[in-house]
Amino acid sequence: MIKPLLYLTLAASLLTACAGHRDQQLDDYDITLYTPTYAGGFEIKTAPGAESSILVCRTPWQGAGEDDASMLFIARDGEKAPDGFTGQVLDAGEAKRIVCMSSSYIAMLDAIDETDRVAAVSGKGFISNERVKARADVPDVGFDNSIDYEAIVAIDPDLVLLYGVNGSNALEGKLRELGIPYAYMGEYLEEHPLGKAEWIVAIGEITGQRPKAQRRFETIAPAYTALRDMADTLSRHPKVMINTPYADSWVMAPTTSYVATLISDAGAEYAYSKTGTNTSLPIDIEEAYLLTDGADYWINVGQYTSLAEMQAALPKFKATKPMRDKQVWNTTLRATPGGGNDYWESGVVNPDLMLTDLIKIFHPGVLDSVPFTYYQRLE
């Protein structure tokens, strides 16, 4: 015979369990688990009494509207996706086998010591991460119009991490057809360097390691802000030009952009001053010449690795001030033989190291004891 006290305890436990597994409505998922401090492109939500969460990617691609937001339901404790949910579902509670369609996702996983979860990559020859490159069990599933779907099916991934450019990724439809869950990551659209890095928290939620990811980000943000505050005390503010022509078009980032923020936070002035837009704009060669000649430094110069190479391609610019002073710098210090560049990979989660490089460039004598990570001067 069950004693009354024991009966009450069992009944209470049963009621609690039922409450935790009751059918949820999508509107119930209105409790914020994590609101980013710097990132504007994601949030993590949950519902009362639920163990599961929804990762919302607000900006899966450029120009995305509210209706384009991508959602991933991360099911835990036997809970089902709420009624009305039309996004993707990660049934396992965490992704243990992940297909990374961008090398920046590998860097995010590496930042929280979870690269063992990388099950396949896109463009392995472009990847810088040594641990992933050395793994023979990580296949290259291709990219663009050459995706090896059979390889993706064969590895049986828990999740494919995608990105969009001007619309949904071409893989989306086929992954739906195959029943393979996917999630969009929108870190590359963030305008603040710390906003990009904060996406490691989204990766943490996907892998069941959000507390670890939050702790990691809590070391990145103070390191960056301390460098920014130090640079803000410097009296000299040199002017900085960026980029070179690509496909006969010289494009300048807006003043609110990621690169402009880095330049400003490094105690310098961005040469391009047109405001009122948040998109990159092309300039003609005459304007580019005037901006370059009026600058003290010229950075992020595309594929060029030497001054001679640049001068041969852009002979008119040989007379500009940065060329004369040999103050042309590029992010090629950690370029890979296969054409990859760690600046675009690990730089996403190391904005403090990027800022250190720029402070060293723009303010000779400051941080001299610290080695460069991504930048080198063109000779």
Write down the CATH number for the domain with range 234-377: 3.40.50.1980
Q: What pLDDT score was predicted for residue 275? A: 67
Could you give the CA distance from residue 81 to residue 73 in angstroms, rounded to a whole number?
A: 6
Could you give the CA distance from residue 101 to residue 144 in angstroms, rounded to a whole number?
A: 10
103-114 pLDDT, tens digit per residue, is 999 999 999 999
Could you give the CA distance from residue 160 to residue 172 in angstroms, rounded to a whole number?
A: 10
**288 sits in which H/E element:** helix 285-293
- Topology alike, domains 21-218 and 234-377: yes
pTM value > 0.75: yes
Domain locations in the chain as residue ranges:
21-218, 234-377
Q: What pLDDT score was predicted for residue 9? A: 38
If you search the block for the tokens 């835990």, which residue do you land on? 76
Strand ranges across the sheet with 376-377: 269-270, 239-242, 297-299, 328-330, 376-377
> What residue type is 64 in one-letter code?
A
> How open is the CA angle 92-79-43, to the nearest 5 degrees?
75
Q: Which CATH superfamily is domain 21-218 in?
A: Nitrogenase molybdenum iron protein domain (3.40.50.1980)
Structure tokens at 125: 């020859």
- Give me the sign of the Cα torsion angle 25, 26, 27, 29: positive
Reference 346, options 369, 367, 377, 374; nearest CA is: 374
Q: At what angle do helices 210-232 and 258-265 cross, to 10 degrees?
A: 50
Residues of the chain with pLDDT under 70: 1-22, 275-277
Q: What pLDDT score was predicted for residue 315? A: 96
Could you give the CA distance from residue 106 to residue 127 in angstroms, rounded to a whole number?
A: 9
Q: What pLDDT score was predicted for residue 277? A: 67
Q: Cα dist. 317→84, 251, 276, 331 in Å?
A: 58, 16, 28, 20
Q: What pLDDT score was predicted for residue 278? A: 73
Contact 193, 262 (CB under 8 A): yes
Contact 152, 162 (CB under 8 A): no
Q: What pLDDT score was predicted for residue 5? A: 39
Q: What pLDDT score was predicted for residue 2? A: 40
Q: What pLDDT score was predicted for residue 20? A: 45
